[in-house]
Each structure stands twice: as structure tokens, then as C-alpha cells.
Amino acid sequence: MKQEVILIFDMGKTNKKYYLFDQQYHELEKGYVQFPEITDDDGFPCDDLSAITQWMLSVADAVRANEKYELGAINFSGYGATLVHLHKGKVCAPMYNYCKPLPGNITQLFIDKHGDLNRWSKQTASPYLGILNAGLQLFWLKYTKPEIYRQIDRTLFFPQYLSYMFTGIPVTEYTGLGCHTGLWDFEQSDLHRWVYAEQMDQLLPELSASTDACLAGDSRIRVGSGIHDSSAALVPYLRKDGHPFLLLSTGTWSICLNPFNSSVLTDEELAADCLCYLQPDGKQVKSSRLFLGNIFTKWEGILATHFGKSASYHQSIAFDPQLFAKASRIKSPLFVSVKTAGSAYFEQNPVMDLSWFLSYEEAYHQLLHELVSLQVEKIRLVQGNGKPDRLYVDGGFSKNGVFLGTLRALLPGFSVIPSDAALGSSLGAAMVLEK
């Protein structure tokens, strides 16, 4: 008898992964692939959407053909702020990179047409982030590439496009729409008025919940509508813990999410790069962001080279209270340089002299002390009045002993709980399909 399985595609910026789960959400199989970036029509790097979708469809075909499995459901989690533009069901524009710079004249045009950015940011719970605000990508397209914009009859967020490849049904979904897009008015629970003024509402399909699923063609396979990865990562914890908690979802971006904080974003929180996401049911999640993994990866390689260690050496290092105490006595950052107070972005110090440290371990504890200190500031920003005392950590840093030890030392009022499985968003994408 065949085993019924759930197939999840978890599309990270670096790794495109798939997981097979049984009906009790036990992992049966997994795999991942990396695709070289291509360039868009301006020569800027972007993901190769065609290669990604071909790989995804081939994986699904292989699972369907496997005599051990009965494929019962498929769903998708993926990064936000990324749009796929369609004309008569076919992709008609590159999948532009959310790191692509937004020209200053486009920002000014938006202000001239739709008013103060601070008010817009507060209403949409979206700090101004350029093209990382997906709505501004549409605005940029309309006014800089009108020949492309005129062709578009549907715009989908990346996870919803993946679903569309199986169902042919275009949908918009809460977690994508609520991911610092600048499109959704959190005060009115509707598209923001600027979207209607630009008639961009006509490009966005009908709003669907992440829990919705439909059949793929004439098969009995249920296909989810897709979900934003950070929002998906919350789902397993909400299912198992009714007690107020925070989730620190770590990777290239480190996102701290508080689903129990429903307060309106303040000007101070917006200035510190806080934002709100939407849960699959449309409820608010107050969040803060930090570009943590990016700077960690850069220094990880530099330390390994300087001290003659392997790239994976840091994985063997345990938290050392004495080295933590030594790092605590150093009051000025040595490894990182914050661009602006409260910013999610920071850079490596270009004049750092590693000969100051006696060992890799000492330098590594200093680096983690600085990074975790920045992370604690972000955690405090979204803590709210509910007094959560549990902090779940998932993603890449959930297995980092020095990171966790430093976090516990700097957050004495919290129980810091590393995830027992690095499944995060993929498990959440499976769980939202529960009938």
C-alpha cells in the first residue's frame, strides 16, 4: 500500500529545497539545489525563474511516479518582496531582485502623487525599503518601463506563482501581501488607497487565505496557495504553544516575530526598521529585522583564513563563559559598523586587526557578542506588553552553541529554546493545509 505524502517546496534565496512529509509531519525525504543567478533587462542579478520552475515540476513528477508514495498535497513557502508578472498566463518580465536599487526620482514621484512617506509607512506597516517594498516595484515598472507594465494582466507573489504552475488559478494571499509591500492598509484591512488610485488593484488576483487549497487539474492532489516563509515558520509554534512567545527565525535575515503583539507601529519602531507581517488568517505579527547572517558569513570566512581553520571550524566551538565575560568588557564594537542607529543593516569594520586576539575562539566569542547584542535590541523592540518569556530560535543559528549561549546570557528573563528541527517554514507550509 502506498504511503500518502505531502510535498513542500521551500524556496530560499540561496537554496531551493523540497521536503516530503507523512501525514504526521515526519520528514521522509529532502533535497536541495542552487541555481546561478541570471541578469534582468538592466543587467542586474536576478533569480532564474524558468530553471526554478522546471526543477520544481520535475521533482513533483518524480514523486508522483514513485511507487512508494501517494502524493496527497503540495504547498510552497518562499521569500517575500518578489513578484512574477504575467500576460495571458505567461511570464512577461524578469523576476526582479528585491536588492535592486530604486531610483530616487521614482521615490519623489511617489511622494508627489501619494503624499508623505512616513504616513504611508505607518498605514502599511512597511518601512520605506525601495524595491523591497513590492508595491514600489509595481510603481517603478509603471513609470520607468511602461512597455512592460502595459503587458501585465496579473501580478503574483513568488509563492503564489509556484502554486499557479500546478493549478492555473491566480490568487493573492495574506502573508505575501502583508510582507512590507506597502500595498496593504493595516488600519483599514484593505488595499491601500494609493493602489486603487494607480489602478494596480486590477493586477492583483482575488485574496485567498494560506489555508485554502484546490485540486491540481483532474487529480486528487490538493495544492496550497503558497505562503511567505517567515509567516510559515510561525505556524508550528502557534499550533503547539498557546503561551505568549517570540520566534527568532534566523538565516541571511534574522526576523524576530511576535504574534501576540497587536499594537500599532510607532514612529520610533518604524525608524528602527520594525514592521508588521500578516498571519495566514490575516492577523498582525509585529516583527523586527536584522541582516545578521550576511555579516556573520563574511566574518566566518575571514576568521578561518586568519587563524588557519576550516570553514566549518566554528561549528565545533562551545560557549565559554570566560570568553563571554571578556567580550562583555569591550564597550565599542570591533567587528561591526552600524550604518544608522536601529538599522537592520550593518557592515564589517574594514580596519579590524585580528592580531588583537589570541585565538579563533576568542575572536569568535567577540564577534557573536556584538551580533547578539544587536539582535537583543531588535527582540526588545517587539516584546510588547504581553511579557512573553519564551524565545524559540529556528533556522541556521539554532544549532550555534555560542550564539545560543550569548543570547541566554544577554536575555536572562527568557527561556531560549532552539528548534529541534531545521524545518521551520517548510513544516508550517505543510501544516496550513490541514483539513
pLDDT digits 0-9 by tens, 57-88: 999 999 999 999 999 999 999 999 999 999 99
Picking from 177, 209, 225, the residue at the C-terminal end of a domain is 225
Residue 346 has pLDDT above 70, yes or no: no
pLDDT on residue 348: 63
Range with lowest mean pLDDT among 15-19, 253-257, 369-373: 253-257
Burial class (CB within 10 angstroms; exposed 0-12, middle 13-18, buried 19+) of 41: exposed
Same domain, 131 and 22: yes
Same domain, 180 and 148: yes
Same domain, 243 and 94: no
Q: What is the DSSP string of 213-244?
A: EEE-TTSS-EEE--EEHHHHHHHHHHHH--S-
Alpha-carbon gap, residue 94 to 351, rounded angstroms:
39
Same domain, 293 and 414: yes
Sequence-distant (≥ 6) Cβ neighbours of residue 413 within 8 angstroms:
389
Picking from 190, 225, 260, the residue at the C-terminal end of a domain is 225
Cβ distance 303 to 368 under 8 Å? no
Same domain, 344 and 243: yes
Same domain, 343 and 420: yes
Alpha-carbon gap, residue 149 to 138, rounded angstroms:
8
pLDDT on residue 366: 96
Same domain, 364 and 409: yes
Alpha-carbon gap, residue 360 to 309, rounded angstroms:
8
Torsion, Cα of 291, 296, 301, 305 (10° steps)? 140
Domain count, the chain: 2
Alpha-carbon gap, residue 122 to 182, rounded angstroms:
10
Alpha-carbon gap, residue 235 to 335, rounded angstroms:
35
pLDDT on residue 288: 94
Phi, psi values for residue 202, rounded to 5° = -70, -20
**Residues of the domain holding 349:** 228-435
Distance from the Cα of residue 23 to its chain's centroid: 26
Same domain, 150 and 37: yes
The string of pLDDT tens digits covering residues 299-321 is 999 999 999 999 999 999 999 99
Among residues of the chain, what percentage have pLDDT more than 90? 75
Average pLDDT, the chain: 92
Alpha-carbon gap, residue 410 to 373, rounded angstroms:
7
Same domain, 241 and 161: no
pLDDT on residue 102: 97
Picking from 191, 225, 259, the residue at the C-terminal end of a domain is 225
pLDDT on residue 218: 65
The string of pLDDT tens digits covering residues 84-127 is 999 999 999 999 999 999 999 999 999 999 999 999 999 999 99
Model confidence at 239, pLDDT cuts 50, 70, 90, reads: confident
Task: Return the sign of the alpha-carbon dihedral for residues 2, 159, 152, 148.
Answer: negative
pTM for this prediction: 0.85
The candidate with the shortest Cα–Cα distance to 130, out of 164, 159, 95, 106, is 106
pLDDT on residue 349: 66
Residue 130, domain CATH: 3.30.420.40
pLDDT on residue 211: 66
Alpha-carbon gap, residue 108 to 5, rounded angstroms:
50
pLDDT on residue 95: 98
Same domain, 221 and 96: yes
pLDDT on residue 219: 75
The candidate with the shortest Cα–Cα distance to 160, out of 48, 220, 275, 82, is 82
76-103 burial string, b = 16+ CB within 10 Å, else e?
bbbbbbbbbbbeeeeebbbbbbbebebe
The 3 state secondary structure assigned to 343-375 is: CCCEEECCCCCHHHCCCHHHHHHHHHHHHHHHH
pLDDT on residue 208: 81
The candidate with the shortest Cα–Cα distance to 17, out of 74, 63, 55, is 55
Higher pLDDT, 75 or 13: 75
C-alpha cell at position 342: 536601529
Same domain, 221 and 239: no
Same domain, 189 and 232: no
